[in-house]
Amino acid sequence: MAHIRVSIAKGQNGARWRLSLLLDPGAKYLTLPRRVLVSLGIRPIRRESFHACNGQSLVRDVGIAVVRYRGMSAGTQVIFGEPGDICALGIVALKELGIELNPRSGRVRKAEPCPLPFRTAPKQ
């Protein structure tokens, strides 16, 4: 797994934190310490149950944050981490930023665009 330097904010403008996070494609969402999110004015929008790798069931608050990486930005779901939780950038944020982890080199690269599901109009 790699580490990635990102900035986190409540919206496109305003205060932001710059952080180095574990890039974990096995994790679903971005996880950050509650104190960081609260200091940015990010509020929980729901509570959700998660299963830790050790099988333990955890309930955490979830909110929305803007994550930026090398000129790209995306709104993404963020877990309000509690003491002992690992801060990581998960697969949802990776996909939303359009980046992926190269399995051979362990480096971050731009992801190939996913095909859009659409139907062409029938010919008349």
Domain boundaries, the chain: 2-110
Q: What burial class does residue 80 get, using C-beta atoms within 10 Å of its C-beta: 0-12 exposed, 13-18 middle, 19+ buried?
A: buried
Looking at residue 37, the DSSP 8-state letter turns out to be H
Q: What is the pTM of this model?
A: 0.83
Q: Supply angle C-alpha 30, 98, 15, rounded to 5.
A: 50
Helix-strand-coil split of the chain, %, nearest 5 = 10, 45, 45
Span 100-123, pLDDT tens digits: 888 888 888 888 776 767 666 666
CATH 2.40.70.10 assigned to domain 2-110? The reply is: yes
Task: Give the phi and the psi of residue 71 in degrees, each rounded to 5.
Answer: 85, -5
Span 31-61, pLDDT tens digits: 999 999 999 999 999 999 988 777 889 999 9
